[in-house]
C-alpha cells in the first residue's frame, strides 16, 4: 500500500516543523510578504497552517477552517506574493529533506488554490 504524502513527510509533527521554519526563517524575513502577517496571531496561524497542510497532503484530520477565498478576503494578494509564498514552502520542505517530486506534488495542490487566493 502506498503511503500518503502526509505519511512520507513524517506526519503532523514533521509538518509542524516545516511550518515553523516556513514562517520564522522565510516568510517573516521576506519584505515582499511579511506585511500580510503584521496583525496576525502567529501561534494560531502556525497551528492553522499545520492542520491545513496536513489535510492537503492526505493527513487524517479534516480541515475545518475558512474557505481559501474567505481567509484571504481583503488582502489583495498579487501573483508575485503568491509565488513568493510557494517558493518559501518549497524551500521549507526542501530544508527538511522532502524529495523534490513530493515537493512538486505538494506545490501542485497549493497551485490549485491560486484562483481562490489572488486579488481577493
Q: What is the pLDDT of residues 34-85, one digit of tens each?
A: 999 999 999 999 998 898 888 878 887 666 777 878 888 889 999 999 999 9
CA angle 93, 98, 99 (to 5 degrees): 125
Q: How far apart are CA 69 and CA 120, in angstroms?
A: 7
Closest C-alpha to 27, from 4, 45, 52, 53: 45
- Architecture of the domain defined by 9-117: Orthogonal Bundle (1.10)
Any idea which residue has 513530493 for its cell? 102
Helix (H) or strand (E) holding 81: helix 79-95
- Say what the pLDDT of residue 36 is: 95
- Say what the pLDDT of residue 62 is: 65
Q: For the whole model, what pTM was predicted? A: 0.89
Boundaries of every domain in the chain: 9-117
Amino acid at each position: 500500500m502506498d503511503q500518503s504524502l502526509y505519511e512520507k513527510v513524517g506526519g503532523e509533527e514533521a509538518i509542524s516543523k516545516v511550518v515553523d521554519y516556513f514562517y520564522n526563517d522565510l516568510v517573516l524575513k521576506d519584505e515582499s510578504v511579511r506585511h500580510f502577517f503584521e496583525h496576525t496571531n502567529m501561534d494560531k496561524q502556525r497551528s492553522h497552517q499545520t492542520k491545513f497542510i496536513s489535510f492537503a497532503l492526505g493527513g487524517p484530520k479534516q480541515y475545518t477552517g475558512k474557505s481559501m477565498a474567505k481567509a484571504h478576503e481583503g488582502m489583495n494578494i498579487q501573483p508575485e506574493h503568491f509565488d513568493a509564498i510557494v517558493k518559501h514552502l518549497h524551500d521549507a520542505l526542501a530544508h527538511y529533506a522532502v524529495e523534490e517530486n513530493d515537493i512538486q506534488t505538494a506545490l501542485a495542490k497549493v497551485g490549485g488554490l491560486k484562483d481562490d487566493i489572488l486579488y481577493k
